[in-house]
Chains A and B, each alone.
Chain A
Amino acid sequence: MGLLDRYAGLVSLYGEVRATGPDPFQIRMERVLSPTEAIINGKKTLLVGTNNYFGLTFDPSCMEAAIEAIRAEGTGTTGSRIANGSYTEHVALEEEIAAFYGKKHCMVFTTGYQANLGIISNLVGAEDFLLIDADSHASIYDACKQTQAEVVRFKHNDPASLDARLRRLGDKPGNRLVVLEGIYSMLGDSAPLKEFVEVCKKYKAYVLIDEAHSLGALGEHGRGLCEKEGVLDDCHFIVGTFSKTLGAIGGYCVSNDPDFDVLRVTTRSYMFTASLPPSIVASVRQALKVVIAHPELRTHLWDNVHTLYEGLKAKGFTLGPEHGPVVGVHLPDKMMAIGFWRAMLDAGVYVNVAIPPATPNGVSLLRCSVSAAHTKEQLDHMVEVMTGIARQMGVLPAAAPARAAGSAR
């Protein structure tokens, strides 16, 4: 029996997807031209699915910083922080992120996934309780598999459901850690954070919030949902990523916990992987400066969110519940979503296809992410393309025929 035989069911389902056309999970970007355009299948394609919320991947100042860092310190660190030591710039980056949030401590990780995996699984141990939202990201679920703590799931964005689960724990000893996300990555909805924080205070639970998709986008200074909702001080741990708004790769966690630094010698995803290379550290430091110095990028992002969300809504699409840099478009089923995605790509627009089990409640979505770098014309064009395909495929009713000027009403 082959090692991979147990995936036979999956192989056959995946085969069905691939038999009908290009594979949505193995897309090749032949050449990326800018934050909003790439050559795919030999054709210039509009990118509306790359989480590049501020369009900083091609920011000249970030690119220059990365190039200078490579010339000065080489291409990689070739080892982990604990074995090979920290570069001065790793430490400077940590201090700058801590200062951005007004927190005392920061730990930088090589990816956002590793930040969630390591921090969450190490904050709680045997006899403790970890409470997670049902729609949590895979990195949070994977942390649950690594921790000794008892894990309890509550209903998505439902403070009453969390309350019931904390109440049931009664007076059992052990810490309680509640994990939330600023913006959920599939439907783009935000946590009702104030209400969640109230529940956590009532039961003396610690709060960890993942601001991966909300860094830059939410709050007066772009610190995320915790800032927007005025509860930054009540969020004991804030996790985030460098791979979206900041245009590179990496993750972090900030906190005021006086003993926070002990996690540097307990967290395996920090200890046993190579640290970020100098070029990434340099571009991220510069990107953070850009985020701080240019709040108009946030304004532009939200103008673009408005254009796309209201444009699609006006055409009759069923969307995620609220405006946000992630716009999820509901489609009736998995094969329809894949077919729709292919038709969009043929028409020169790239978005993400999201299907079960990567989505909550078995929904099938085309997931769009908006950038401050998009022009209004690009997004208007995308709405037109999407509407045309939806009418062809019967997702939206056919347009009423335009009436000739002067015809009877």
Chain B
Amino acid sequence: MLREATNSIVENDDMNDTLVSSPVERGSISRAEVMGEICHHLAPFQIGEKPIAGSTVITKDLAIDSLAVMDMVMEIEDRFDVSIPMNVVAEIYTVDELADTVLKLRARR
């Protein structure tokens, strides 16, 4: 019942907005765009000055718990109009892997 991370207050009031920023439903997207969006959503969980990069291990290098990761993933899903199944999310460790997953699902559409 206790959160693993000490930073337990998660600002997530925008849960009610289905589409937070304008979704990209058509056309191609760049990797940089996806990375930018992910970093934007992870910024509140950054520990100290260490910047968030592709190799950042999401649940280890950041003060974020698994529930907040799943909420963050929903924002990314709506931004790029893809759905990442829960079992796939469970196997994503780094920011790079999350970006690759989004691009792969996007390409499959």
Contacts and interface: CB of A to CB of B under 8 A. Distances in A.
Interface string B68-109: 101100100110011101110000000000000000000001
Contacts of A357: 1-4, 65-67
Given A25-B1, A356-B3, A356-B65, A362 B86 contact: no
B18 interface: yes
A361 B2 contact: no
A358 interface: yes
A355 B86 contact: no
A10 B78 contact: no
A150 B87 contact: yes
A357 B1 CA distance: 6
Contacts of A10: 2, 4
Interface stretch (A113-121, A152-160, A215-223, A245-253): A152-160
Contacts of B15: 134, 155-156, 158, 361
B5 to A, nearest CB: 9
B74 to A, nearest CB: 6
B16 A158 contact: yes
B12 interface: yes
B1 A161 contact: no
B9 interface: yes
Contacts, number: 84
**Interface majority SS on B: helix, strand, loop or mixed?**
loop
B8 A152 contact: no
B68 A17 contact: no
B10 interface: yes
A362 B3 contact: yes
Contacts of B13: 361
B72 to A, nearest CB: 12
Contacts of B1: 25, 355, 357-358
Interface in B12-64: 12-13, 15-16, 18-19
Nearest to A152: B83
A9 B4 CA distance: 7
Contact of B2 (A154, A168, A355): A355
Contacts of A158: 15-16, 18
B74 A134 contact: yes
A13 B18 contact: no
Contacts of B70: 134, 153
B3 A155 contact: no
Contacts of A333: 8-9
B4 A160 contact: no
Contacts of B67: 356-357, 362
10 contacts: A134-B15, A152-B83, A153-B70, A153-B86, A155-B16, A155-B18, A165-B83, A334-B3, A357-B3, A357-B65
